[in-house]
Amino acid sequence: MHARMDNGELTPQQLQAVAQVRNATARFHDIAVAKAAGYTTQYPAGCSQSAAGAQAYHYLNDSLVNDKVELLHPELLMYEPQPNGSLQLVGVDYVVPLAASAEPPTLLGVPFMRNEPLGVWALHIWAWRPNPSGMFAAWNPKVSCAYAK
């Protein structure tokens, strides 16, 4: 389970790291730039939604998937579909293959969540959309798949 932390509950180190993630991913607000940088595969396919909120579309950069976690190089970018058909960057997702580690990796003191169906350890950072469930929560009730095609 992801730790519940909103901006008021983040440590100074975590606040600084989220600012660094925002700086490193700001250019990816343009999905064309993200695709040109290698974020081309929807993984999993479709817009992810649950009763706890949504995660939106995930765009994976296959070349970044390995046993290392690099704060400024997330493996996935998360985009919410908009009414006009565009996509809005809402967060990032870090993944490590389950086969790479028996124990969950950690980032910023937060353990990754085991995602058995996808075969990965995963951790979200909602860098671009406030999340009342917490900065590192799996789902965001402020994100929707209502306009997914």
pTM of this structure: 0.93
Rg (CA), the chain: 14
Q: What is the mean pLDDT of each run of 10 residues along the chain (149 residues)?
A: 55 96 98 98 91 96 96 98 97 98 96 96 98 96 95
Write down the residue that tokens 């790291």 correspond to.
Answer: 17
pLDDT given at position 149: 86
Is residue 81 reached through a cis peptide bond, with omega within 30 degrees of 0 on the bond before it?
A: no
pLDDT given at position 7: 53
* 59 contacts 92 by C-beta, under 8 angstroms: no
Whole-Å CA distances, 8 to 15, 103, 131, 132, 137: 9, 29, 12, 11, 15
pLDDT given at position 44: 87
